[in-house]
């Protein structure tokens, strides 16, 4: 039992670091889109040996993430760290070339949503801590002190890295045993289970895209073109 705990703990450490780096990408640095669910969840699954399971989970979470747009100081789900956790949870019981087990898949999507919501709350707290750290240094900032600006930036990014890593580690350690147990006890058919999950996330994505059709010029043409290219790639790959 102790050795199994140590194995899970050692597995969690690189995942936690990945969750921290990906969480950093959401807002702080470098904003290179590695925090998008389809990328982050695939990486999370790959870190535990099942990238395809992570990719499937990331695709589902990406449909949900389309609904939220990170803008300014508004509160929104932090999908980066959440997707790393979800991708790793989806990989429970899967191998390198298999889809996630339906039980783990359902748990992974649920955990991804919950972790994203909690992550959004931690980002608000992160900003409040930075504001409290900067307030006594307003005079130096107003004077253009380079050291003060750099120090504030480094402090903020380091705190953000630690926030994502801690969130990822806690949620993975809590959710992994649940995914194992659900996988063992899941009785609903695989096709029906996946169909329900995919229908739910697709409905959210469709509502988000529909709003964009009416709000952003040219979205319909881009959507049709992307759909055509994606269909051709899928057919060609099959």
Q: What is the pLDDT of residues 65-116, one digit of tens each?
A: 988 776 666 788 999 999 999 999 999 988 877 888 899 999 999 999 999 9
The yes-or-no verdict on residue 238 having pLDDT over 70 is no
Domain that holds residue 8: 2-187
Least confident among 4-8, 136-140, 182-186: 4-8
The answer to whether residue 210 is domain-embedded is no
The answer to whether residue 110 is domain-embedded is yes
CA distance 108 to 130: 31
How many Cβ atoms are within 10 Å of 75's Cβ, its own excluded? Answer: 13
pTM: 0.89
pLDDT tier for residue 146 given thresholds of 50, 70 and 90: very high
The answer to whether residue 202 is domain-embedded is no
The answer to whether residue 167 is domain-embedded is yes
pLDDT tier for residue 64 given thresholds of 50, 70 and 90: very high
The answer to whether residue 209 is domain-embedded is no
The answer to whether residue 60 is domain-embedded is yes
pLDDT of residue 211: 81
pLDDT of residue 76: 86
The answer to whether residue 233 is domain-embedded is no
Q: How many domains does the chain have?
A: 1
CA distance 48 to 237: 26
The answer to whether residue 80 is domain-embedded is yes
CA distance 162 to 220: 40
């Amino acid at each position: 039992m102790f050795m199994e705990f140590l194995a899970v703990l050692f597995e969690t450490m690189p995942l936690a670091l990945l969750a921290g780096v990906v969480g950093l990408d959401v807002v702080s640095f470098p904003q290179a889109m590695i925090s998008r669910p389809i990328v982050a969840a695939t990486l999370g699954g790959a870190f535990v040996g099942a990238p395809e399971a992570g990719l499937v989970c990331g695709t589902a979470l990406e449909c949900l993430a389309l609904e939220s747009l990170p803008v300014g100081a508004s509160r929104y789900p932090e999908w980066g760290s959440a997707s790393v956790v979800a991708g790793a949870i989806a990989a429970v019981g899967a191998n390198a070339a298999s889809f996630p087990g339906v039980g783990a898949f359902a748990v992974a999507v649920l955990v991804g949503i919950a972790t994203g919501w909690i992550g959004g709350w931690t980002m608000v707290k992160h900003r409040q801590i930075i504001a409290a750290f900067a307030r006594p240094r307003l005079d130096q900032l107003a004077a253009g002190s380079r050291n003060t600006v750099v120090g504030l930036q480094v402090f903020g990014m380091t705190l953000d890295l630690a926030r994502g890593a801690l969130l990822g580690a806690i949620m993975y350690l809590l959710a992994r045993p649940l995914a194992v147990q659900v996988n063992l006890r899941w009785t609903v058919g695989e096709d029906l289970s996946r169909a329900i999950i995919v229908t739910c996330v697709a409905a959210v994505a469709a509502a988000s895209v529909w709003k964009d059709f009416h709000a952003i010029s040219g979205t319909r043409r881009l959507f049709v073109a992307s759909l055509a290219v994606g269909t051709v790639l899928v057919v060609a790959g099959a």
